[in-house]
Structure 1
Amino acid sequence: MGTSNNDLYFNWEYLPGKQAAVKYRVYGPDSATTPPLLFIHGYGGMLEHWDLNIPAFSDTHRIYAMDLLGFGGSSKPNIRYSLELFAAQIGAFIAHHKLDKPVIIGHSMGGASGLYFAHHVPEAVRALVMANPSGLFADTMDPMAKAFFGLIASPMVGELMFAAFANPIGVSQSLMPTYYNQKKVDMKLINQFTRPLHDKGAAWAYLSPSRRPDDFTLEHLPKPCNYNKKAFLIWGAEDTALPPHKIIPEFQQTLPQAGAYIIPKAGHCIHHDAHQAFNARLRHILDHEL
């Protein structure tokens, strides 16, 4: 079985008496003897952002990809979004599908969410593959950026700025700095990232990192953290937001067992920006490192 375009949903009780629909897709043979793979997108993303990656592995692995709550096609309730919430969603998804120790492959905030989950439930994870993960920042944010995020943390200003951003022009301007190969930021990708912004409640999730930045950091995890099994960092050399020479040492304090692989001519969205090189590295990990 190859790539599937069938959207599936399961109802997750994220709080007692409160349910939300989680969108996901399943790919690959259900009889695969290889470890299951669980793909987790980054901030502002959706499972379709893995479209250049999943087909490369769907002949050999059972693959799952889902939209985090508040993003993509999942529900967008007015709740407190955080890495803790997303880690709980990962745990609920694994339990719902009875996955046997999946390899969690996460980009940016998805990588941070996967690590947060693995720290708290290490026995449920076979390996972590983190593509330009967020959560540790090594004081990379300059004073102007800090002032900007402080400004949009104001509810009124934040709502106005979100409304101004939630259109193809705003999305294009936000995506461009995350790519080295900016031709990849085409209208298909821009429209893909724009559509969820118009869903009811989208602003609650999208503004959460600026309003409660501490809810999206891994700084409070012990060094090293509780997860001591296989872990891999794959980084785009041209990531200006999370430069590898500053951030990788931070992650290796938390995950001293994690090797780092830097891909040249790739930005923050490494899995899409340089998908062939990313897929080759992931294939090496799956075939030779696990």
Structure 2
Amino acid sequence: MSSATPSWYSKIGAQRDWAWRGWQVRYTYIRSTAAATNPPLLFLHGFGSALGQWRYNLHPLSESHTVYAMDLLGFGASEKAPAEYGVTLWMEQVYDFWRTWIRTPVILVGHSLGALVAIATAAAYPEMVGGLILLTIPASRQEVLPAKLQPLVGSLESFFASPLLLRPLFQLITRKPGIIRSVLKKIYVNPEVVNEELVALFTTPPLDRGAAGVFCRLSKARTRRDFAPNVKDLLPQITSPTLVLWGQQDKVIPIAWGRQLTEHSPHLKLVEIEDAGHCPYDEHPERVNQEIAHWLKKYGSGECSYA
């Protein structure tokens, strides 16, 4: 692990390390004393990010619910393990964390990759999940590409996932934070949100031992057909109330995909966040927190039915 502690870690509760399958996993929690009967919230970050992405959300939402957040294996301050990465691995990590520390139905809150892990977890372990709050949902390659193009795209992705290409790229990115800054400014609608704290959130974990190897493993894993399940196959299996928040200006996963998904689940409610891109929790945290808090009140009263 890198020796420096990021400044945003002080904003997200009591951080702890947990040994999972012999690997170190970082998590945090804030216990709420306001309403002990309310279900806990478990936050799952997006691809390339970490639990620090929730720095504007955890404390406000902990006023009514105990909150947990974790770094998925390979990301953030969790170990950069030589594992076979994929949604199934992270889903098992989430389930084992819940079984170890919580053991009561939770509401999973996930962004992008974290949203996909949350959906897969809810489908596989319905006894664990009482509801879902998802901020953008990625599609698998099979869902966005015509069948005849999938072998070609898979071959190209496998070629570009070669460590001979990826390791020099990784070194270039980690040595030049300006590259990350430029990418983030394309993802965020408001470039002023891209400050030193946000850049550090993405540039600190790659300094950890084993990070280059994880970068190569993840890049290779994303070319596999079994890296992620099809969202449209999973959604009909989920009967839990589901809130989806989506930035209207999302360039990474356009909101048109989110609108399609509403046709696959009567339990899903889509709320569009104006003037927001791929990370609405960061660009408009007050609006996102308000929407979540309002939904949680309806959830607690049994009014979360969208059929």
Is the structural similarity TM-score above 0.5? yes
Deviation, structure 1 residue 7: 1.9
Give the one of 7, 10, 20 matched to 2:23.
Answer: 20
Which deviations, in whole Å up to 9, do the C-alpha atoms of 1:1-43 show, x marking residues without a partner? x965432011111xxxxx1111011103267221100011111
Q: Any residues of structure 2 matched to 1:59-208 within 5 Å, and which?
A: 59-136=63-140, 138-139=143-144, 149=157, 151-166=159-174, 167-208=176-217
The answer on whether the counterparts of 1:119 and 1:225 sit within 8 Å (CA) in structure 2 is no
SS in 1 for 2:144: coil
The answer on whether the counterparts of 2:12 and 2:52 sit within 8 Å (CA) in structure 1 is no
Deviation, structure 1 residue 191: 1.2
Q: Any residues of structure 2 matched to 1:268-283 within 5 Å, and which?
A: 268-283=278-293
Give the one of 31, 56, 61 matched to 2:60.
Answer: 56
Cα distance in structure 1, aligned partners of 2:234 and 2:104: 27
Equivalenced residues, count: 282
The answer on whether the counterparts of 2:119 and 2:235 sit within 8 Å (CA) in structure 1 is no
The answer on whether the counterparts of 1:8 and 1:24 sit within 8 Å (CA) in structure 2 is yes
SS in 2 for 1:103: strand
SS in 2 for 1:92: helix
* 1:241 paired to 2:252: yes
Which deviations, in whole Å up to 9, do the C-alpha atoms of 1:100-154 show, x marking residues without a partner? 11100000100101111111111210101110122446528999x9898555312
Unpaired runs of 5+ residues, structure 2, are 1-9, 301-307
The answer on whether the counterparts of 2:110 and 2:118 sit within 8 Å (CA) in structure 1 is yes
Structure (1 or 2) with the larger CA radius of gyration: 2
Unpaired runs of 5+ residues, structure 1, are 14-18
Counterpart of 1:134, as a letter, is P
Question: What is the TM-score normalised by the length of structure 1?
Answer: 0.88
The answer on whether the counterparts of 2:53 and 2:282 sit within 8 Å (CA) in structure 1 is yes
Question: What is the TM-score normalised by the length of structure 2?
Answer: 0.83
Match of residue 6 from structure 1:
14
